[in-house]
Chain A
Amino acid sequence: MNDITPATLKHVERPARPGGMSNALVFGWRAILKFKHVPEQLFDLIMTPIMFTLLFTFVFGGALAGSTDNYLQFFLPGILVQTVVFNSVYSGMGLSTDLGKGLFERFRSLPIWPLAPFAGLMVGDVLRHFIAGSIILAIGLMLGYRAEAGVFGVIGAFLLLFAVGFGFGWVFILMGLLIRTPMTVMTIGFTLIFPLVFASNIMVEPETMPDWLRAFVDHNPISFITTALRGLMGGGVTFQQILLALIAPVLLTVVLAPASLVAYRRK
């Protein structure tokens, strides 16, 4: 082993302090590197939505909507919502994994914007949502889905999906901060998400449901989001639908982002 060369030990002064946004982008870069080094994570992200798409379209589609084509047209925007919400669990798991190791100790002993690591997680999330969403959409198009609102509708839909992923991401970031084992984060996460996703209008319209359930489905934030997304992709979306869809993501961010910061500081 070499001695340290004196040249390296020359006193290195700290450069001008970078802004919070710059810190966040560095963490985002880390998230992107993770895709490069751990590409298998993508497999986890898209297998479930692909299975759901194929299963529901071909097994239940005909019975639910008269024909598989009709059902795909109805179901595809919903499965995009489901994918984004399911996938937001992963950033919480990743955070819980990072915290279990010494990595965050170093981040916390650096003079950086304290929220930067989370912002970086969010960048990774957006990327994940974009990749998974694109793959699902591509498969849908191959199976015969048509986005009647065209390219701008699809772009609008993806922007809404990012907002949804951002908002729901805080739930799991907070859980990642509070729960020590990544597996528990996943288990609790899915326990919360499953009823929310299934008792919504993602898979079927609620007309045939009992009144009490229908009341829940009609006020489920996932239903608002799905309705807005159908409107965006299929045409005919209203301003009010988009506002309703944004309530949950905005509320979650306003309440949980500060809560996450407190939990992080207290650790």
Chain B
Amino acid sequence: MNSPDTTDPRGTAALAISARGLVKTFGKLQAVAGIDLDVPRGMIFAVLGPNGAGKTTLIRMLATLIAPDEGKATVMGHDLRDEADAVRSSIALTGQFASLDEDLTGRENLLLLARLWGFRGRQATGRARDLLEAFNLSDAANKQVKDYSGGMRRRLDIAASLIVTPGVLFLDEPTTGLDPVARQGVWRMIRDLARSGVTILLTTQYLEEADQLAARIAVIDRGRKIAEGTSRELKATIGSGFLHVALGDASDIDRASALLEAKLGHPPKRNVEGGALSIMADTPKAANEAVAALMADGIAVTDFSMGTPSLDEVFFALTGDPAEPEKEQAS
């Protein structure tokens, strides 16, 4: 990826975020149940998990919006509890729901924030103009935000986080609800930002998004971190590869499934549409032999391929639940 892949953090000085044992409980629900996190500076780091896994709670704690019940953390070297104001000076947060004033125009929203940061007069208008230009919003600058499309809001929202270059940018589900084109645009923006040296911590429920953007991924489920690593490392944790087989006749599925399981020694996973199977294969040779065995048994194989597991499969293997497809997932 674009960012330096620092798998071995060199002490907290090199870390943008360092958290130990963060816990947050709401009533009876333990939203975050003891999470450790080390995010090196300049990296895109993804927190991946299904709805309700505790991603937003985690990010809100790190952005000083809610206090953790237990645990401690530093953000850009400042203690979350004792130096909250210093933390706020070095971060920016783009929440899940656009944090914009709907009644004001795009330009006024940026001006408002620029002035709150302490830019005056021409400096403030200049900052707003630059950001509007950079995020391709100049034409809509004088329109009220309530007339913006979803993609435009997201862009303005991210622009609003960059009035002052933050040390860490928190992005809570940056592309949820966007169409594929707008999503690609936001991804490009995130990569550009990371290239400029901003550390980015993003949460997502899209495996593809984490795979595409992040140098490191932490997988969160039910308030706990269940795995962490590069996307390649995560895929490697569940075996060398997957054999994908498409059958000519869907009614052969039971026979094919039994045969593959006997040959490869792993449970096959059936494709939802039917007529196709995926199964873990320890070596390419074993996969090859298994396909040969299917054909020898008179089962028509229309297509087969060997691939590293997708993050979907990793997620399935780690949590035991299939990755939850969002109803709006478009790409």
B-contacting residues of A (Cβ < 8 Å)?
Answer: 1-9, 11-18, 22-23, 26, 29-30, 33-34, 37-38, 101-112, 116
Is the pair B64, A3 in contact by a Cβ cutoff of 8 Å? no
Within 8 A of A (CB), among B7-30: none
Is the pair B99, A103 in contact by a Cβ cutoff of 8 Å? yes
Q: Which residues of chain B are near A108, meaning CB under 8 Å?
A: 64-65
Instruction: Give 18 A-B pairs besides A4-B134, A33-B108, A110-B116 with Cβ atoms closer than 8 angstroms.
Output: A1-B155, A1-B182, A1-B188, A2-B134, A3-B189, A5-B134, A8-B131, A8-B133, A9-B165, A11-B197, A15-B118, A23-B116, A37-B105, A105-B93, A105-B95, A106-B160, A111-B85, A111-B88
Q: Which residues of chain A are near B185, meaning CB under 8 Å?
A: 1
Within 8 A of A (CB), among B275-299: none
B190 CB to closest chain A CB, in angstroms? Answer: 10
A231 to B307, CA, bound (A): 88
A13 CB to closest chain B CB, in angstroms? Answer: 7
Complex A-B, nearest 6 residue pairs according to Cβ-Cβ distance, in ascending order = A8-B134, A102-B99, A1-B185, A106-B99, A18-B118, A9-B196
The residue from A1, A14, A16, A33 contacting B136, defined by CB atoms under 8 A apart: A1
The residue from A9, A23, A110 contacting B192, defined by CB atoms under 8 A apart: A9
Q: Which residues of chain B are near A1, meaning CB under 8 Å?
A: 136, 151, 155, 181-182, 184-185, 188
Q: Which residues of chain A are near B100, meaning CB under 8 Å?
A: 102-103
The residue from B88, B96, B119, B123 contacting A109, defined by CB atoms under 8 A apart: B88
Is the pair A14, B164 in contact by a Cβ cutoff of 8 Å? yes
A2 to B186, CA, bound (A): 10
Can you spell out 18 A-B residue pairs with CB atoms less than 8 angstroms apart?
Answer: A1-B181, A1-B188, A3-B192, A4-B193, A8-B131, A8-B134, A15-B120, A22-B115, A29-B115, A30-B101, A30-B112, A37-B144, A102-B95, A102-B96, A105-B65, A108-B65, A110-B113, A111-B88
Is residue B318 contacting chain A, with contact meaning CB distance below 8 A?
no
Is residue B304 contacting chain A, with contact meaning CB distance below 8 A?
no
Is the pair A15, B117 in contact by a Cβ cutoff of 8 Å? yes
Residue from B100, B117, B197 whose CB has the most chain A CB atoms within 10 Å? B117
Q: Which residues of chain B are near A12, meaning CB under 8 Å?
A: 127, 162-165
B130 CB to closest chain A CB, in angstroms? Answer: 5
Is the pair B99, A105 in contact by a Cβ cutoff of 8 Å? yes
Is residue B63 contacting chain A, with contact meaning CB distance below 8 A?
yes
Q: Which residues of chain A are near B160, meaning CB under 8 Å?
A: 106
A213 to B104, CA, bound (A): 47
The residue from B104, B123, B135 contacting A30, defined by CB atoms under 8 A apart: B104
* B 168-192 to A, binary, CB cutoff 8 A, 1 in contact else 0: 0000000000000110110011001
A112 and B65 in contact (CB under 8 A), knowing A13-B164, A106-B95?
no
Q: Which residues of chain A are near B163, meaning CB under 8 Å?
A: 12
A4 to B134, CA, bound (A): 5
A106 and B93 in contact (CB under 8 A), knowing A1-B188, A33-B104?
yes
Q: Which residues of chain B are near A11, meaning CB under 8 Å?
A: 165, 196-197
Within 8 A of A (CB), among B54-89: 63-65, 85-86, 88-89
The residue from B115, B134, B184 contacting A26, defined by CB atoms under 8 A apart: B115
Q: Which residues of chain A are near B105, meaning CB under 8 Å?
A: 37
